[in-house]
């Protein structure tokens, strides 16, 4: 139980294609904060001909050394995303090899369709079933 009211958040980025996770990357854990700043690059190598068939799901989790890490919220960026996630993807494709910043609103797992059929990996993180 967190008695301080603070979180230990980190971000897990999953490269997705056809509902399957191909690769994942994680940031460092930001201890005891409700306002983390992640100034880290998470890099995925994607073939040019595959870039329109993949998306990235970003999950913000609260690290828990005992039990399961809690999903705080998610967002999706890619050609199959909605609204800001699709717009961000389009801007990234227009500016290859350049960082493209964009604020995203986190949503609950069920809003992205990840809660149903999801599993937890060895760290307690939710992952979409393959």
Task: Give the residue among 85, 112, 106 at the shortest CA–CA distance from 11.
Answer: 106
Instruction: Domain ranges for the chain, please list them.
Output: 9-128
Per the CB < 8 A criterion, the answer to whether 86 and 33 are in contact is no
* pLDDT tens-digit readout, 25-67: 999 999 999 999 999 999 999 998 999 999 999 999 999 988 8
Residue 114: band (very low, low, confident or very high) from pLDDT cuts 50, 70, 90: low
9-128 falls under which CATH superfamily? C2 domain (2.60.40.150)
Per the CB < 8 A criterion, the answer to whether 25 and 13 are in contact is yes
Q: Global pTM? A: 0.80
């Amino acid at each position: 139980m967190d008695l301080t009211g603070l979180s230990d958040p980190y971000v897990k980025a999953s490269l997705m294609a056809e509902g399957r996770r191909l690769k994942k990357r994680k940031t460092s854990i930001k201890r005891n904060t409700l306002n983390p700043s992640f100034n880290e690059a998470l890099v995925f190598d994607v073939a040019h001909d595959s870039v329109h068939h993949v998306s990235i799901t970003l999950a913000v989790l609260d690290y828990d050394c005992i039990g399961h890490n809690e999903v705080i919220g998610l967002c999706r960026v890619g050609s199959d995303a909605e609204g800001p996630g699709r717009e961000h993807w389009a801007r990234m494709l227009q500016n290859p090899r350049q960082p493209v910043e964009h604020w995203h609103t986190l949503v609950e797992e069920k809003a992205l369709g990840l809660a149903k059929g999801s599993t937890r990996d060895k760290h307690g993180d939710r992952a979409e079933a393959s």
